[in-house]
A and B are shown apart, each in its own frame.
Chain A
Amino acid sequence: EDKVVQSPLSLVVHEGDTVTLNCSYEVTNFRSLLWYKQEKKAPTFLFMLTSSGIEKKSGRLSSILDKKELFSILNITATQTGDSAVYLCAVESGGSNYKLTFGKGTLLTVNP
Chain B
Amino acid sequence: GQNIDQPTEMTATEGAIVQINCTYQTSGFNGLFWYQQHAGEAPTFLSYNVLDGLEEKGRFSSFLSRSKGYSYLLLKELQMKDSASYLCVTITGGGNKLTFGTGTQLKVEL
A, B bound? no
Question: Which residues of B are at the interface with A, using a C-beta cutoff of 8 A?
Answer: none
Question: Which residues of A are at the interface with B, using a C-beta cutoff of 8 A?
Answer: none
